[in-house]
């Protein structure tokens, strides 16, 4: 008889291995400052935050705060049940209609998170006998969903159209999947070229638009995702829209199919109507003549110019996501710690989130940062990188 292993021993062993490799994840409870600010405090110390995906600073916008208040007063703070019971309200329908008006899709379906939306889409739409190809760097939620689906899953070289076209010609897949802006590299997918290739092969193009939706006005040479380009578009609300939730957008037949078959949707309590009200306000604000997008574009340009003058080498990303690839895990963690000692918070991203040898600082620029704060970051980076080099 085989001896049963202890789950406690398993947990302890794996945690020890991660800790030894410098890859153990921990969470920390932060306290934000009041008003529209990028500061927060931890253990009584204030930090300047360059890790947020709240690119437009909408999470603290007065219009969204008012929408949350009025939505909660009208609907309460929860939805009460799944969407197919009594959890689907006019607030949800209004948000879906607004997203469709912006993107040109026929219909939409709301989820509580982008991870849930991607995972549900993959494992509901695809199954044994289907073939899907995806960019090498698509999000973990897509990979997990496709793994659960049992579909044949092939990956093309990142943003490489020759690699994508070769796999499309070889496998004639049901769908090609990419992101609009990639979360760890900040670069943009060749959406127009991918769309053309998919249309020639009668293949669906699915785009995870988590980091692109809402900031198109801040980006040069960026083609916004829409029904003209993509058969399916996944929009998340926790990035540029500054709130919570996600939506799958596509044709009516797809949405009806997901309503009837997506277990994540059928058996989950719906996104609260109050949060739907907030997301609707965020969509409207992001599409308006609000100056936040212009401020964001200016801040991105200013940061890249300041880094160039300081001989800090960044990638070619022109999006709010500005990776500084260091490579070595220990050196990356050391630089991030040096920044924290200077009162600046930047995420140290390590494998398996990114490929081995590409550990990096994932710096994110927002519309709320000032030029003085960006100068402070660049000065601290220069010092921290110098210290890390001396220690190497």
User: What pLDDT score does 322 carry?
Assistant: 97
pLDDT digits over 2-15, tens only? Answer: 677 899 999 999 99
Q: Which of 107, 116, 119, 183 is catalytic?
A: 183
Q: What is the Cα–Cα distance from 239 to 135, expressed in whole angstroms?
A: 21
- Whether 34 sits among the annotated catalytic residues: the reply is no
Q: Which of 49, 53, 116, 275 is catalytic?
A: 53
pLDDT digits over 246-265, tens only? Answer: 999 999 999 999 999 999 99
- Whether 211 sits among the annotated catalytic residues: the reply is yes
Q: Which of 135, 179, 209, 231 is catalytic?
A: 179
Q: How confident is the model at residue 35 (pLDDT cuts 50, 70, 90)?
A: low
Token pair for 150: 């049992």
Q: Which of 211, 231, 334, 369 is catalytic?
A: 211
pLDDT digits over 78-122, tens only? Answer: 999 999 999 999 999 999 999 999 999 999 999 999 999 999 999
- Whether 5 sits among the annotated catalytic residues: the reply is no
- Whether 208 sits among the annotated catalytic residues: the reply is yes
Q: Which of 92, 105, 123, 139 is catalytic?
A: 139
219 pLDDT higher than 60? yes
Q: How many residues does the chain have?
A: 392
The CATH T-level fold of domain 61-286 is: 3.40.640
Among residues of the chain, what percentage have pLDDT more than 90?
85
389 pLDDT higher than 70? no
User: What pLDDT score does 289 carry?
Assistant: 62
Domain ranges of the chain: 29-56+291-391, 61-286
Q: Which of 135, 208, 209, 264 is catalytic?
A: 208
- Whether 53 sits among the annotated catalytic residues: the reply is yes
Mean pLDDT for the stretch of residues 281-300: 91
- Whether 192 sits among the annotated catalytic residues: the reply is no
Q: How confident is the model at residue 34 (pLDDT cuts 50, 70, 90)?
A: low
pLDDT digits over 221-255, tens only? Answer: 888 999 999 999 999 999 999 999 999 999 999 99
Helix 62-75 and helix 273-286: axis angle, to 10°?
150
Q: Which of 239, 264, 299, 317 is catalytic?
A: 239
Residues 6+ apart with CB under 8 A from 368: 36, 37, 38, 54, 57, 60
Token pair for 370: 């000032």
Any idea which residue has 């001896």 for tokens? 3
Q: CB–CB of 187/317 below 8 Å?
A: yes
User: What pLDDT score does 387 carry?
Assistant: 61
| Strand partners for 45 | 42
Class of domain 29-56+291-391: alpha beta
- Whether 130 sits among the annotated catalytic residues: the reply is no
Mean pLDDT for the stretch of residues 316-332: 94
Buried b (16+ CB within 10 A) or exposed e, 42-75: eeeeebbbbbbbbbbbbbbbeebeebbeebbeeb
Q: How confident is the model at residue 346 (pLDDT cuts 50, 70, 90)?
A: very high
């Amino acid at each position: 008889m085989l001896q049963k292993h202890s789950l406690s021993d398993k947990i302890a062993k794996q945690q020890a291995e991660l800790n030894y490799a410098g890859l153990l994840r921990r969470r920390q409870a932060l306290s934000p400052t009041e008003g529209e600010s990028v500061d927060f405090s931890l253990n009584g110390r204030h930090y300047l935050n360059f890790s947020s995906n709240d690119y437009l600073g909408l999470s603290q916008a007065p219009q969204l705060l008012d929408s949350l208040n009025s939505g909660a007063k009208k609907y309460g703070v929860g939805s009460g049940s799944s969407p197919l019971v009594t959890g689907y309200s006019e607030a949800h329908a209004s948000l879906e209609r607004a997203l469709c008006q912006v993107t040109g899709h026929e219909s939409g379906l709301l989820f509580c998170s982008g991870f849930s939306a991607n995972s549900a889409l993959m494992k509901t739409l695809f199954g044994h006998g289907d073939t899907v190809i995806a960019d090498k760097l698509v999000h973990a939620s897509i990979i997990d969903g496709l793994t659960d689906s049992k579909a044949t899953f092939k990956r093309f070289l990142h943003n490489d159209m020759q690699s994508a076209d070769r796999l499309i010609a070889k496998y004639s897949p049901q769908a090609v999947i990419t992101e609009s802006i990639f979360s760890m590299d900040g670069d943009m997918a060749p959406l127009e070229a991918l769309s053309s290739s998919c249309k020639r092969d009668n293949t669906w193009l699915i785009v995870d638009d988590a980091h692109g939706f809402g900031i198109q006005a801040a980006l040069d040479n960026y083609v916004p995702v829409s029904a003209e380009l993509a058969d399916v578009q996944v929009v998340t609300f926790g990035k540029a829209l500054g709130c919570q939730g996600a939506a799958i957008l596509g044709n009516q037949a797809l949405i009806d199919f997901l309503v009837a078959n997506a277990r994540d949707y059928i058996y989950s309590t719906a996104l609260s109507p109050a949060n739907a009200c907030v997301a609707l306000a965020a969509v409207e604000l992001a599409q308006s003549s609000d100056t936040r997008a212009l401020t964001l574009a200016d801040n991105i340009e200013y940061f890249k110019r300041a880094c160039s003058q300081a001989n800090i080498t960044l990638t070619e990303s022109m999006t709010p996501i500005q990776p500084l690839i260091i490579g070595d895990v220990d050196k990356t963690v050391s630089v991030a710690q040096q920044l924290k000692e200077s009162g600046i918070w930047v995420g140290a991203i390590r494998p398996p989130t990114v490929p081995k040898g590409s550990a990096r600082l994932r710096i994110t620029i927002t519309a709320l940062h000032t030029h003085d704060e960006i100068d402070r970051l660049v000065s601290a980076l220069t010092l921290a990188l110098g210290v890390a080099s001396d220690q190497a």
